Amino acid sequence: MEPLQIPVPGERTSQTIRRFRDEGGPVVPIELPGKVHAWMVASYESVSEVLLNDGTLFSKNSRNCPAMHDGTIPPDWPLRQLVEGDHLLTKDGDDHRRLRGLINRAFTPARVAAMAPRIQEMTDGLLDGLAAEGEVVDLVRHFSEPLPIAVICELFGVPEEERYQLREWTNVLLFHTASPEQAAEAAQAMLGYLAAFIERRRAEPGDDLTTGLIQAQEDDGDRLSDNEMLWILWLVLVAGHETTVHLIANAVIALCAHPAQVPAADDQDSWAKVVEEALRSRNSVLNVMFRYPLEDVQVAGTKIPAGEPIVVALDGADTDPARYGADAARFDASREPDAHVGFGRGPHFCLGAPLARLEMRIALSALFGRYPGLRLAVGADEIAYTPSLITEGPMTLPVVLGPR
């Protein structure tokens, strides 16, 4: 089978993934921008098989991918930092467990739970401002974008006036419309900013998670190195807002299309189900990159040679009719909760899942509680989505708030 090129001009990445799965099967050869040859696993079973491996068969470490280092994948390939940076997403086994263990010392469930009142306060503040924007409001600009940025930056102690720059860098890093030069420039600028920021926190410790990570220490005295600190912040600030920005907006679009599924504002159990269904059927993270087989492997009957990059299509898995039936793509919050892969699965399961779930629940219930008549101001097919292989959400979302 000839490799299928992705992205496809004029088609949303989620549609492309679903089409590749339906037409090509659970494992398809693909070509990414920059002529990078890869494989996409796109069914629930093939995705689960790859994700559940503990790193002994499918590695996250690019050293196990010859193409990364022999010039086949250009050194200035835009997504290189994501797949080659020195962070959690590029480590296997003990190296990965060590890093995650140290982060967990500081990023505890109690710290996440303690954020709830502040998230509510920040949400309410943004909702207060919405009505002043006029009859039609861009919900991305005024709500789904500022909220996750404010939450993650407050958690890590990034001052307000420095936050928007992080958003701009992240977009350049994740959009395939950015040139390799722009991506490299944004990546360097962000790392430079973060190195200086960590120094500032060292000199002036605060009550934030950056200080918590600087001070985190295992019983045997093991600590995070400067370089590890830098990359953790890089990953968490990128992964910790972009994903949530888009998932809030995707969930709003789904609820506007299915108003009967909007729960009562205080029915938090039902809101939790809305969040899970959004993660399953309207996820903001479509693909995760990469896994590299350590030997030639058979996945769902297809041979993938050792070292060739595998793109794991979460969206393909979570809308797979073989698992969810013929109406798999339909948003239906009354489905029985299921083990979707919206936050991944296995050793790299999303570190921020409890925070993202909390934030989503507060944001959506407060938004529809305040503006129960909220509806789209444009047709659903007029919405333009982010030009990204990895994340998907509307670029802008014009809504009418309706009576309060």
d(CA 275, CA 280) in angstroms, rounded, equals 9
Considering the rule CB under 6 A, would residue 243 count as an interface residue with ligand HEM? yes
Q: Is 348 in the site for ligand HEM (CB under 6 A)?
A: yes
Which of 284, 346, 330, 326 lies closest to 100 in space, CA to CA? 346
Options 36, 213, 356, 389; binder of ligand HEM; rule CB under 6 A: 356
Minimum CB distance to ligand HEM, residue 122 (Å): 14
- Identify the residue among 43, 46, 244, 386 touching ligand HEM (CB under 6 A): 244
Kindly state the smallest distance separating residue 403's Cβ from ligand HEM, in Å.
30
Which of 309, 316, 352, 393 lies at the binding interface for ligand HEM (CB under 6 A)?
352
User: Taking the chain, what is the end-to-end CA distance rounded to the nearest angstrom?
Assistant: 55
Q: Which is nearer to ligand HEM, 187 or 351 (CB)?
A: 351
Does 247 sit near ligand HEM (CB under 6 A)? yes
Told to check if 390 binds ligand HEM by CB under 6 A, we report no
Told to check if 288 binds ligand HEM by CB under 6 A, we report: yes
Distance in Å, CB of 357 to ligand HEM, minimum: 8
109 versus 402: smaller Cβ distance to ligand HEM: 109
Q: Shortest Cβ contact with ligand HEM: which residue? A: 352
- 39 strand-pairing partners: 29, 310
* 146 lies in the binding site for ligand HEM (CB under 6 A): no
Q: Which of 355, 364, 366, 401 binds ligand HEM (CB under 6 A)?
A: 355
Candidate segments 62-70, 200-208, 262-270, 278-286, binder of ligand HEM by CB under 6 A: 278-286
Number of other CB atoms surrounding residue 188 within 10 Å: 12
Binding characters for ligand HEM, 86-115, by CB under 6 A (x = yes): --xx----------x---------------
Q: If DSSP states are collapsed to H, E and C, what string results for the chain?
A: CCCEECCCCCCCHHHHHHHHHHHHCCEEEEEECCCEEEEEECCHHHHHHHHHCCCCCEECCHHHCHHHHCCCCCCCCCCHHHHHCCCHHHCCHHHHHHHHHHHHHHCCHHHHHHCHHHHHHHHHHHHHHHHHHCCEEEHHHHHHCHHHHHHHHHHHCCCHHHHHHHHHHHHHHHCCCCCHHHHHHHHHHHHHHHHHHHHHHHHCCCCCHHHHHHHCECCCCCECCHHHHHHHHHHHHHHHHHHHHHHHHHHHHHHHHCHHHCCCCCCHHHHHHHHHHHHHHCCCECEEEEEEECCCEEECCEEECCCCCEEEEHHHHHCCHHHHCCCCCCCCCCCCCCCCCECECHHHCCCCHHHHHHHHHHHHHHHHHHCCCCEECCCHHHCCECCCCCECCECCCEEECCCC
Q: Tell which residue, 238, 328, 236, has the closest CA to residue 283.
A: 328
- 64 near ligand HEM, rule: CB under 6 A: no
Q: Is 350 in the site for ligand HEM (CB under 6 A)?
A: yes
Q: Is 122 in the site for ligand HEM (CB under 6 A)?
A: no
285 lies in the binding site for ligand HEM (CB under 6 A): yes
Q: Of the listed pieces 174-182, 237-245, 265-273, 299-307, which binds ligand HEM according to CB under 6 A?
A: 237-245
Is 343 among the residues that bind ligand HEM (CB under 6 A)?
yes
Residue 55 makes contact with ligand HEM by CB under 6 A: no
The CB-of-100 to ligand HEM minimum distance in angstroms stands at 5
Q: Does 366 contact ligand HEM by CB under 6 A?
A: no
Q: Output the smallest distance, CB 134 to ligand HEM, in A.
A: 29
How far apart are alpha carbons 355 and 153 in whole angstroms? 13
Q: Sketch the per residue contact string, 298 through 327, with ligand HEM: x for CB under 6 A, - otherwise.
A: ----------------x-------------
| 254 sits near ligand HEM (criterion: CB under 6 A) | no
Q: Which residues bind ligand HEM (CB under 6 A)?
A: 88-89, 100, 235-236, 239-240, 243-244, 247, 283-285, 288, 314, 342-344, 348, 350-352, 355-356
